[in-house]
Structure 1
Amino acid sequence: MEDIEDLLVGSGGAPPGFRLPLNAVGVNPRKKNKAKPSKVSQMNDPPKIPGTQTIYVKTFGCSHNQSDSEYMAGQLSAFGYAISDNPEEGDLWLINTCTVKNPSQSAMNTLITKCKSAKKPLVVAGCVPQGSRDLKELEGVSIVGVQQIDRVVEVVEETLKGHEVRLLNRKTLPSLDLPKVRKNKFVEILPINVGCLGACTYCKTKHARGHLGSYTVDSLVERVKTVIADGVREIWLSSEDTGAYGRDIGVNLPILLNAIVAELPPDGSTMLRIGMTNPPFILEHLKEIAAVLCHPCVYSFLHVPVQSGSDAVLTAMNREYTVSEFRTVVDTLTELVPGMQIATDIICGFPGETDEDFSQTVNLIKEYKFSQVHISQFYPRPGTPAARMKKVPSTIVKNRSRELTSVFEAFTPYNGMEGKVERIWITEIATDGIHLVGHTKGYVQVLIVAPETILGTSAIVKITSVGRWSVFGEVLESLPQVNVKMAPDKVSNQEKHSPCSNQYECCACSKEPEPCSCGPDICGGQIKLDKCTVSKNDSPMENRASKNPIHWFIRKRRNHAQKKLENDIALGLENEQDWAPGGWGFVDRALLVGIFVSFFMIVAVIMHLEFRTLLSK
């Protein structure tokens, strides 16, 4: 079937919050069985009223994809649809896809097959249908293009009626002011541009996202003001290449960064994280970007993919920089920004890579000992120049990937942090259910045990121990959260539909289980610094504590004590003693004594019954 596009010639679509008339959407009625349903079934089938269904949303890939999904969920929620992450609950499935490499697309195919088997209506969005619209798996499926996410409500409604809808025409960028349901209510993923200026021989994403298209500085600054008022505590700038921002509209990244930083609260309650940037586009702005990274409201962290330590391989990739230029970026930022942390990417086994080329890559990683390296095996993507190049044998590719992973995992990047006092920003709950997750200014992940009431705030912590992927801290002082006055119209359904969740779930572009073949933001991926779970080697006692009922009781009491203190403060009853984690009050002692007394009474009763049984014999 040919693609069915918008039928409104010259129209930009409906403004945010409005449905277009049904004849404005190209639809293809699905063929139905000629047999008429029985009168009994017609009486039992409830009417399908738009806006009353539950939509299961699944996102593959990147932070940009995640932002698109949040925008689509926000619009659906605004029209009354319930959003769920449970496929069993979904009356319709919405799958947002990633085209970076084979595993992510295979996962998409599997999910589509499950959906069709379950006879659920299906809408597929994202880079796969936009870049490969003729895939067999997409036959008979409704599609939303990457620049048509503002029309997802129309597509869902028509799909629920049994129609197939395809909106793939490129148009103006979607508005930044659309309703949004954030996966993590404290984190705003802000796309600053789409597409890129590069032409990497292995990349499929540009086929979908296209040439560079930047949002204006004013529109981005207005969005920043809005989300700060909404209570957001971290703003992630995201795109396929952050460093290329503005080159199509006559501005550049430093201009945008300075405009955004000027709007951040001076107390540091909201932090900015700059997304992935390729070396060519920041070389001319290194000092200006370093100055922004030094700002107290900006994380001293940047993701700069190198992909290979060999100039010959970089040329074959068409990366448009040399290893020497990459070194200049890293050395300059490390010198000018205190505590600077840099993450990078490596592709193992690119076509034509020799043992000498790979050796140069290993030496580069050993020299800089990056705390975060996203290692990937080469995946040939259909339609790219690299797919036609002579491949390195798969056994060699796998061996190189294992060797480089072994080298990287031998590093101990956080040794020496023990005993340091750091300010962290706390935005989520770890998947173990015990720890909260915060980050230092250098974006080092810190796991703490503290009440959930301090989510969305910052704290002063002392680093107590370090692991391979994260460090552990003890809260010394919880810094007060600035009271942000939220306008009534800004209090959306986000908190209803988007409980704080693990933002670091494994994505198609992360290091686990398949490292990314391009940067997390090139392919769309957010930077997966660490799993939020605690490894057995890092803290075995903490893992065992999660199954201990006494530990659970203590944690519940801590939460209760913290809430009581906050209530006392609100009533002007604050005492002189600061809250200390683990502090025991009268009620705590009384409850503990009650537990022990109950235990001994039970033992006494059992012994008494046993004694009577013996006497009766």
Structure 2
Amino acid sequence: MRVAIETYGCTTNQADSDIMRGFLSGEFELSSVEDAEVVIINSCGVIDFTERKIIRRMLDLKREGKKVVLAGCLTRISKEALSVADSALSPDNLDMVVDAVYSALNGRKLFTERRFIDKAEFSHLKCRLRENAITIVSISEGCLGKCSFCATKFARGRLRSFSMDAIVREAERAVRAGYREIQLTSQDTGAYGMDKGRAMLPELLRKISEIEGEFRVRVGMMNPQHAVRMLDELINAYSSEKIYKFLHIPVQSGDNRILEDMKRDHTVEDYVEVVEAFRNSFDDVLISTDIIVGFPTETEEAFWKSYELIKETRPDIVNITRYSARKGTPAARLRDIPGWIKKERSRKLTDLMRKIGLENNKRFVGKKLRVLVTKEGKNGRNLARMNSYRAVVTEGAVGEFVEVKIKDCRFNYLIGQLAAEQPQ
């Protein structure tokens, strides 16, 4: 029996897919989607557009005669997606994936009850696909937030932090297996350990940094309210050369009134304090943030506050999302803003983000840097990362640290040449 997994959405879903492949590989033949008899759709439910896209994909696969198992966030968010699936598997039932496949073949059953499973304890079962030098390690599930626009919390639930010892063991195994970039992921890495009474992310980073070997750690998204409360400890942990100086800290709006309406539990000032502290502590920090444009209560004045915040704090990456109502969330009951307004605000912010990104990157042109090559690219060029996680397109073997000279840049990446290949 041939089984395939098609993954949508965040790095947490990618990590979940790796775990499911580990369970499946002992029972079935893993294959491409084209050749599979059963396809597991590991779904994302962040926005309505993605949900519709996934449902269409499920229907197409069924028309091709394939059985479809729905996994991921839509199992708890979308009744329509559930009705299309031949079986379903929620994020906290990954250890039942083999049963879910047999259920799709022999009689529909949904594996969606809420349970706590420590996914870090499953890490030794992962089926890794060595396509690059990157591995993903989940450190927790769920969050402490109550964002008024978010449906993901329905799927992932309240925060459950995984075993620190198991996470460190997984990182050790990955380094021994030849992986050079470890991506720590969760719905909010900054909340790690808070369900057990204290913020434990800095301690986790210190323990991983003590692992022997040359590798880098990318810390996933953390919300400002958690980062600001452990700021000194966090910066101290980031001082290890093994931790990328990369900070994904979503502000979502530059207006505190909108943040209150979003129920974000942080202020604009919290975001600014964290960004400034990191920049004052390290020579180069890659700042990534998120902005939602067109939230129902966002006025023109509120939008321009977001614009000015990005202009002043100059993040390297801005993930811009046009607000999309999700059923069951408090914000969905509010009167929506016309689509053309969202589109125009998104365009203005995108133009600003590209301008800032290009200006930020230009200062590296002409410099020699040591980078880690992490992924194969196109036309003999690969993707590498600076110590700040800044992207560099260059030559070099995947998994190697190489010296490059930066020849040019775009708003979202640098272009490098191996230093040994420089003309004399």
Q: Distance in 1 between matches of 2:221 and 2:85?
A: 36
Amino acid of the residue matched to residue 31 of structure 2? I
Cα deviations by residue, 1:48-87 (Å, 9 ceiling, x for unpaired): xxxxx22232111000001111111222123341232xx3
User: Is structure 2 residue 148 aligned with structure 1 residue 148?
Assistant: no
Higher relative contact order (CA 8 A, sep 6+): 1
Question: Which of residues 127, 152, 166 is equivalent to 1:219?
Answer: 166
Cα deviations by residue, 1:255-278 (Å, 9 ceiling, x for unpaired): 11111111142xxx2111111000
Match of 1:378 in 2: 323
Aligned-residue offset at 1:178: 2.3
Q: Is the 8 A contact 2:144 2:159 kept in 1?
A: yes
User: Is structure 2 residue 211 aligned with structure 1 residue 263?
Assistant: yes
Distance 1:264 1:237, change over 3 A: farther
Aligned-residue offset at 1:254: 1.1
Q: Distance in 1 between matches of 2:66 and 2:310?
A: 47
User: Is structure 2 residue 301 aligned with structure 1 residue 356?
Assistant: yes
Q: Is the 8 A contact 1:78 1:179 kept in 2?
A: no
Amino acid of the residue matched to residue 89 of structure 1? D
Match of 1:457 in 2: 400
Distance 1:107 1:292, change over 3 A: same
| Structure (1 or 2) with the greater strand fraction | 2
SS in structure 2 opposite 1:382? coil
Match of 1:288 in 2: 233
Query: Any stretches of 5+ residues in structure 1 without a counterpart?
Result: 1-52, 478-579, 583-617
Distance 1:58 1:195, change over 3 A: same
Q: Distance in 2 between matches of 1:183 and 1:128?
A: 28
Q: Which has the larger radius of gyration?
A: 1
Match of 2:284 in 1: 339
Cα deviations by residue, 1:418-473 (Å, 9 ceiling, x for unpaired): 1111111111111x2321110000111111134xxx21111111111112221111
**Which residues in structure 2 correspond to 1:42-61 (within 5 Å)?**
53-61=1-9
Q: Distance in 1 between matches of 2:406 and 2:84?
A: 54
Amino acid of the residue matched to residue 115 of structure 2? K
Match of 2:13 in 1: 65
Moved over 6 A (4+): none
Q: Distance in 2 between matches of 1:136 and 1:437?
A: 36
Aligned-residue offset at 1:340: 1.1
Match of 2:411 in 1: 468
Q: Is the 8 A contact 1:303 1:343 kept in 2?
A: yes
Match of 1:79 in 2: 27
Query: Any stretches of 5+ residues in structure 2 without a counterpart?
Result: none
User: Is structure 2 residue 55 aligned with structure 1 residue 109?
Assistant: yes
Amino acid of the residue matched to residue 347 of structure 2? R
SS in structure 1 opposite 2:92? coil
**Which residues in structure 2 correspond to 1:126-525 (within 5 Å)?**
126-132=72-78, 134-135=79-80, 138-139=83-84, 141-160=86-105, 162-173=106-117, 174=119, 175-182=122-129, 184-251=131-198, 252-265=200-213, 269-411=214-356, 412=358, 413-430=360-377, 432-450=378-396, 454-476=397-419
Amino acid of the residue matched to residue 135 of structure 1? E
Distance 1:260 1:449, change over 3 A: closer
Q: Distance in 2 between matches of 1:65 and 1:140?
A: 18
SS in structure 1 opposite 2:109? strand
Aligned residues: 418
Q: Give the fraction of aligned pairs with identical amino acids, expressed as a percent.
A: 32
Aligned-residue offset at 1:185: 4.5
Q: Is the 8 A contact 1:293 1:337 kept in 2?
A: no
Q: Distance in 2 between matches of 1:342 and 1:382?
A: 31
Distance 1:348 1:206, change over 3 A: same
Q: Is the 8 A contact 1:73 1:83 kept in 2?
A: no
Distance 1:442 1:140, change over 3 A: closer
Q: Is the 8 A contact 1:99 1:127 kept in 2?
A: yes
SS in structure 2 opposite 1:463? strand
Q: Distance in 2 between matches of 1:140 and 1:261?
A: 42
Question: Which of residues 11, 34, 45 is equivalent to 1:99?
Answer: 45
SS in structure 1 opposite 2:125? coil
| Structure (1 or 2) with the greater helix fraction | 2
Q: Distance in 2 between matches of 1:68 and 1:393?
A: 36
Q: Distance in 2 between matches of 1:183 and 1:104?
A: 28
